[in-house]
Structure 1
Amino acid sequence: MIFVKKLAMQRGLKEYLIISFKGLAMGAADAVPGVSGGTIAFISGIYEELISTISNINIDLFKTLFSKPFKTFWNQLNGNFLLALLTGIVISFVSFMRLAKFLLEHHPVLIWSFFFGLIIASILVVGKQITKWNLPVLMALIIGAIVAFYISQLPSLGANENSWFLFLAGAIAICAMILPGISGSFILIILGAYKTLSDAIHDIDIQRILIFVSGALVGLLSFSHVLKWLFKHYHNITLALLTGFIFGSLNKVWPWKNTLTWHTNSKGIKSPLLQESISPFSFQGDNHLVYAIILMILGFFTIFILERLGHKKQ
């Protein structure tokens, strides 16, 4: 908490604009099934501050709101940081979800290529932060990779528009969104809630959006305490587990896939349900190999740009 306060005191407008930029990157990543905004937060150097800030939201904080000046509450909340970050996330997520939907439908190889390169670089950047390797750390890496790979293989459930289900989906998905390597959007697809949420955003269905956000808040406030405890007591093991999550997610973002089964919604629109990764040379249609490689390289170096921003004074 003291660390967070010191950071907040040192920041100016430029630093908060950089945080908003990181939020934009996080929101864009979370809008794409298979990519995690938590990965972006980690790479850009704000992950542990974000987890610490969220976990400090409790009853005592709200007692401060009613018993002390608002400025005291705002500083204790690390409000400027949260406002800057959430502004970027929300703007990007809402706007990019539509774009992501279009790109995934019309240019899937190209968008997956960019994110494949991004995730390859993420593995290197997150993994190098592990300060000591031993058997438990190695096991955590392997377990994380297996879990993420298994999740990436799960088929999607049918769409469900029940309010309580949407609330629960929000709580579960937000936990994935703040975990590097596990995509909150992909979890929504598995649960059958991605289409419901994207339609709600497209139609500006305030009621459904608020139900989802409420579930997300409950999940976020609960899960952040677990992550904070893990980082405090098992830092290297936690880093290894998260690195494994990122590594295991590569299967999901491999650009060239063969669709095994399809899902048809109530409007008769078909979408891939179960897919397998294949060689680009076995891909039916134009594999866009040259453009895919260029986008992989671009995604790869994007991570190192974010990492450099993360090392700047925040």
Structure 2
Amino acid sequence: MEWRNIYRGMLMGASDVVPGVSGGTIAVVLGIYDQLIEAINGFFSKDWRKHLGFLIPLGIGIVTAIFLLAGTIEFLFEHHSGPTQFAFLGLIIGVIPYLLRKSEARYTFKAHHFFLLIIGVGVVASMLFFRSDEVAPITDITLSTYVFLFMAGFIASAAMILPGISGSFLLLVIGAYSTIINAVSEIKLDIVAVVGLGIIMGILVMSKVIHYFLENYTTATFAVIIGLVIGSIFVIFPGWPTTFQGTIISIMTFALGLFVAFLLGRVEYNDVQA
């Protein structure tokens, strides 16, 4: 068992409850993205024990963070939104150099790869135009509600493992975010189970798609992934602080995010390459 994946999973789980931040992006930050995709795809292969040893601790961390840290993350975004988003900005910007190095972009990228990168930036940045007003949690649960929540989980989880595309943001857009967060915080097992099944199905399907492209179009896929990560900067950016105190705090949290990315890059990427 790769028990260090528990803390990695907690970072991914905490980010997945934040509209605008992608668990896939955090997996890139941690240097385990391609390993994650390979493990999900290999779950039903003859090497399933090895992949299970990678996925179980990661899953424990993700579930733990969602149930224990969702309230904290929501509190930070509700009361300290700007500085919190600047911390995520620093984290994401700080990992881009490592991602460029991992993909050997300096030597492998050609004109069409930069074009794909720009498309990736545009796809995520365009999500700014799909912001939706939050709706109250659904209280009248019917069969159609369960179908809707299953599909919401499927769509969101497919996005969760794509760097830069926030599953929580998509839940916000389609009007399911508050219902699911409320179900998690109040432990409504029926809703949690239905959404959870949708999440599992979505991850299995999308991971196969991503695995195919990583195997057959590695450089092009990295170009798109880098573009998606860069595009997430535009989605997360909260705007410049309006007060001097807010500016100083945001600069400090941004620097903290950069520092954490530097540490993770030194530890995680070096371990992955070793």
User: What TM-score comes out, normalization by structure 1 length?
Assistant: 0.78
Shift of 1:250: 1.2
**Structure 2 unpaired stretches of 5+:** 139-144
Q: SS at the partner of 2:264?
A: helix
Q: Distance in 1 between matches of 2:86 and 2:158?
A: 25
Whichever of the two has the greater Rg, that structure is 1
1:141 aligned partner, one-letter code: L
Structure 1 or 2: larger strand share? 1
Is 2:134–2:178's contact at 8 Å kept on the other side of the alignment?
no
Q: Distance in 1 between matches of 2:35 and 2:101?
A: 19
Q: Distance in 2 between matches of 1:134 and 1:223?
A: 27
Is 2:77–2:84's contact at 8 Å kept on the other side of the alignment?
yes
1:142 to 98, 105, 118: 118
2:219 aligned partner, one-letter code: N
Q: Is 1:55 aligned to residue 15 of structure 2?
A: no
1:249 to 232, 253, 256: 232
1:300 aligned partner, one-letter code: L
Q: Distance in 1 between matches of 2:187 and 2:79?
A: 24
Q: SS at the partner of 1:249?
A: helix
Q: Distance in 2 between matches of 1:238 and 1:74?
A: 25
Is 2:152–2:176's contact at 8 Å kept on the other side of the alignment?
yes
1:75 to 49, 55, 59: 49
Q: Deviations over 1:158-203 (max 9, x none)?
A: 6474211111111111111111111111111111111111100111
Q: Is 1:300 aligned to residue 245 of structure 2?
A: no
Shift of 1:29: 1.5
2:252 aligned partner, one-letter code: I
Q: Distance in 1 between matches of 2:112 and 2:147?
A: 39
Q: Is 1:118 aligned to residue 91 of structure 2?
A: yes
Q: SS at the partner of 2:256?
A: helix
Q: Deviations over 1:216-265 (max 9, x none)?
A: 11111111111001101111111111111111111221133xxxxxxxxx
Is 1:152–1:249's contact at 8 Å kept on the other side of the alignment?
no
1:57/1:75 Cα in 2 relative to 1: closer, same or farther (>3 Å)? closer
Q: How does 1:153-168 map to 2 (within 5 A)?
A: 153-156=129-132, 159=135, 161=138, 162-168=145-151
Q: Name which structure has the greater RCO, CA cutoff 8 Å, separation 6+.
A: 2
1:140 aligned partner, one-letter code: L
1:225 to 205, 208, 229: 208
1:110 aligned partner, one-letter code: P
Q: Is 1:191 aligned to residue 174 of structure 2?
A: yes
Is 1:129–1:239's contact at 8 Å kept on the other side of the alignment?
no
1:84 aligned partner, one-letter code: P
Shift of 1:286: 6.9
Q: Deviations over 1:7-31 (max 9, x none)?
A: xxxxxx6xx2322111111111212
Q: Is 1:238 aligned to residue 240 of structure 2?
A: no
Is 1:39–1:122's contact at 8 Å kept on the other side of the alignment?
no
1:187/1:56 Cα in 2 relative to 1: closer, same or farther (>3 Å)? same
Tell me the C-alpha RMSD between the 2 structures.
2.0
Q: How does 1:121-132 map to 2 (within 5 A)?
A: 121-131=94-104, 132=108
Q: Distance in 1 between matches of 2:129 and 2:261?
A: 26
1:288 aligned partner, one-letter code: G
Q: How does 1:81-100 map to 2 (within 5 A)?
A: 81-100=54-73
**Structure 1 vs Structure 2: percent identity of aligned residues?**
34
Q: Distance in 2 between matches of 1:79 and 1:21?
A: 17
Q: Distance in 2 between matches of 1:22 and 1:137?
A: 30
Is 1:197–1:208's contact at 8 Å kept on the other side of the alignment?
yes
Q: Is 1:22 aligned to residue 8 of structure 2?
A: yes
Structure 1 or 2: larger helix share? 2
Q: Which residue of 2 aligns with 1:178?
A: 161
Q: Which residue of 2 aligns with 1:290?
A: 248
Shift of 1:95: 1.7
